[in-house]
Amino acid sequence: MVERSISQASVAGLSELETSKVLRNTYMLLAMTIAFSAITAGISAMMGVGLMNPWIFLVGAIGLSFAVHYTADSTLGLVMVFAFTGFIGFYVGPVISLYTSLPGGSTAVMSALGTTAFAFVGLSGYALVTKKDFGFMTGFINVGMWVLLGSIILGLLFDLGAFQLAISAGIVLLMSALILWQTSAIVHGGETNYIRATVTLFMSIYNLFMSLLHLFMAFGGDD
């Protein structure tokens, strides 16, 4: 009986150590990829690169995302995650430059950055401190991601007008849920690969920022 208790305690201890390792590696890689993405965004902005064709961006982002997930269990996964986040940053640079050139754009960009950072820290902190299991949100998130992809494609094909604001608001809610879900998955051992976890959180932050930026510009009367 004592031996069994000791064995269970050892397994629990190893599980906690593994979880801590995944969390540490995830947040370290996330910080590095965000910094790298900011650098590529700055480079594309300084080079005066024009706005990337949205279809090229969509295909490139989806393709690199699949490449990251396919190679996540190997060293090549690290190379692919930086290629993916660097590509996103290169696309975002001209977009931000365009927004800042508009009246009230600089304020909207700073507001979106601040709100995104506050939301990420708050949501991640809540999941870490409470250790609540948000696995019940899996179905909602899976459906939401397909709806998100569909809305993006529709937005490229048709002028959705005011519906774009509703879509942006929906993305904010979906990405907030995804941050809670992914952090919870790491805490509870549902996600043991820090590369996949990093990509999920990075895309959550990116989509959250871009949607908030759209909303801030719209409510500022400049969209």
What distance in Å separates the CA atoms of residue 41 and residue 93, rounded to the nearest whole number?
4
Handedness of CA 140, 142, 144, 146 (dihedral sign): negative
Give the pLDDT confidence of 46-74 residue by residue, as tens digits.
888 888 888 899 899 999 999 999 999 99
Confidence class for position 190, pLDDT limits 50, 70, 90: confident
pTM, two decimals, is 0.86
Q: In 3D, which of 8, 202, 75 has the Cα closest to residue 16?
A: 8
Q: Per-residue pLDDT averaged across 124-136, rounded?
A: 91
Cα separation, 92 vs 98, whole angstroms: 10
Chain-wide mean pLDDT for the chain?
Answer: 87
Stronger pLDDT, 167 or 158, i.e. the higher one:
167
Report the greatest alpha carbon distance in the chain: 71
In the block, tokens 């696309």 appear at 91
How sure is the predictor about 7, in pLDDT bands with cuts at 50, 70 and 90? Answer: very low
Question: What residue spans define the domains of the chain?
Answer: 2-219
By percentage, how much of the chain surpasses pLDDT 90? 56
Structure tokens at 38: 């900011």
Residue 11 pLDDT exceeds 80: no
The span from the first CA to the last CA of the chain, in angstroms, equals: 68
